[in-house]
Homo-oligomer: A and B are copies of this chain.
Amino acid sequence: MNKRVISLGEIMMRLSTPGYERFISADSYNVVFGGAEANVAISLANWGVSAAHVTAFPNHDIGKSAVQYLRFAGLDTSHVYFDEGRMGLYFVENGAMQRSSKIIYDRFDSVFANFDPSKVDWKKIFEGADWFHWTGITPAISASAAKLCQDAVKAAKAQGVKISGDINYRRNLWQYGKQPLDIMPDLIAQTDLIIAGLTDFENCMDIHEEDYVTACKKAQEKCPSIKYVSTTYRESISASHNKLCGVLWNGEELLESKTYDMTHIVDRVGGGDAYMAGLIYGLLGSGDQEALEFAVAASVLKHSIPGDANFVSVDEVSQLVKGENIGKLLR
């Protein structure tokens, strides 16, 4: 697809215990790199979209490894910055059956959190871009990260680039003195497509509703630039078995996707990012319902793949949407 997408966000080293080992008994960790926004960009790159990710890494060998990982995953890394400091990390323990999966974050005081926003020439970055993606994680990390996100959104808007934001409210972040309502409403107000659940609406838009469509409408009233609001519904029967569907409010109606039964989950981290990527891909090229179905199917496939990144092809997603070649042995 001949489009260009820019994403912004922190990338962390992900250290996962092998198989179903708990933290307590693991003596090795598998290593990949991931972040909510880069995961979206990697999906899109994988689907033929030109995708550049803006971030900052430590200027040591592990920072370089992270850049190599992004290149491996197909991203344009010409807007990656390096500085003194540490890399954010997170540790993952994969659940099974009734036992939950666990994430321990170790991301404070990272190079990205301390990155000076004035170093980024957003105008240049957005040249030729069609879409910009951010999440509510970035403004939650630090004052400078919030500024970085504000600069980016403002520049994208100014250059006519479409904007998506995954609100993704995380209570454990927001420790630098600001509250979500200090920052998020203004960012959301410039955004075309948001992913938000009722909790996100409450915490980041001060919208307290129990009905999703009502909440979407109120959001659009507050922020007329919002064209789409979406979220997924996940039923957790166990760590190994979830059901998943998505809804997309397009200003007129609430579209609903098929519901998928995910009976043998391999790795659910990144499932939401795969959905976001699917929505962007769909909305860049097809109708609303098609975009929604593509997004959910992409997310479902992510659950079958170890790691954060959704290494599936457009064909694989499309076939799942159409119910073709499901779980076959393809020769």
A binding-site residues for B, Cβ under 8 Å: 15, 18-32, 60-62, 64-65, 68-69, 71-74, 86-87, 89, 91, 93, 95-106, 108-109, 170, 172, 236-242, 260, 262-266, 268-269, 300-301, 303-307, 309, 311-312, 316, 320, 325-331
Query: Is there an interface contact between B237 and A327, defined as CB atoms closer than 8 Å?
Result: yes
Query: Is there an interface contact between B62 and A104, defined as CB atoms closer than 8 Å?
Result: yes
From the candidates B25, B101, B239, B305, name the one contacting A20 in the complex (CB within 8 A): B305
Query: In the complex, A262 Cα to B170 Cα: how many Å?
Result: 31
Query: In the complex, A311 Cα to B264 Cα: how many Å?
Result: 23
Query: Is there an interface contact between B311 and A98, defined as CB atoms closer than 8 Å?
Result: no
Report chain B residues within 8 Å CB of A20.
Answer: 266, 304-306
Query: In the complex, A86 Cα to B328 Cα: how many Å?
Result: 23
Query: In the complex, A72 Cα to B68 Cα: how many Å?
Result: 5
Query: Is there an interface contact between B62 and A91, defined as CB atoms closer than 8 Å?
Result: yes
Q: Looking across the interface, which residue of chain B has its beta carbon closest to that of A305?
A: B22
Q: Looking across the interface, which residue of chain B has its beta carbon closest to that of A77?
A: B71
**What is the copy number of this chain in the assembly?**
6
Query: Is there an interface contact between A328 and B236, defined as CB atoms closer than 8 Å?
Result: yes
Known: A89-B89, A99-B312, A327-B239. A65 touches B301 (CB 8 A): no
Query: In the complex, A97 Cα to B95 Cα: how many Å?
Result: 16
Report chain B residues within 8 Å CB of A104.
Answer: 60-62
Known: A91-B62, A263-B238. A306 touches B21 (CB 8 A): yes
Q: Looking across the interface, which residue of chain B has its beta carbon closest to that of A309?
A: B25
Query: Is there an interface contact between B61 and A23, defined as CB atoms closer than 8 Å?
Result: yes
Report chain B residues within 8 Å CB of A62.
Answer: 23, 91, 104
Report chain B residues within 8 Å CB of A304.
Answer: 20, 95-99, 239
Query: Is there an interface contact between A95 and B311, defined as CB atoms closer than 8 Å?
Result: no
Query: In the complex, A99 Cα to B305 Cα: how many Å?
Result: 9
Query: In the complex, A241 Cα to B265 Cα: how many Å?
Result: 12
Query: Is there an interface contact between A24 and B61, defined as CB atoms closer than 8 Å?
Result: yes
Query: Is there an interface contact between A262 and B29, defined as CB atoms closer than 8 Å?
Result: no
Query: Is there an interface contact between B327 and A100, defined as CB atoms closer than 8 Å?
Result: yes
Report chain B residues within 8 Å CB of A29.
Answer: 15, 28-29, 31
Query: Is there an interface contact between B22 and A329, defined as CB atoms closer than 8 Å?
Result: no
Sorted from nearest, which 9 A-B pairs have the closest CB atoms? A239-B327, A72-B72, A240-B264, A238-B327, A99-B304, A23-B61, A96-B304, A97-B304, A71-B71
Query: In the complex, A81 Cα to B238 Cα: how many Å?
Result: 34
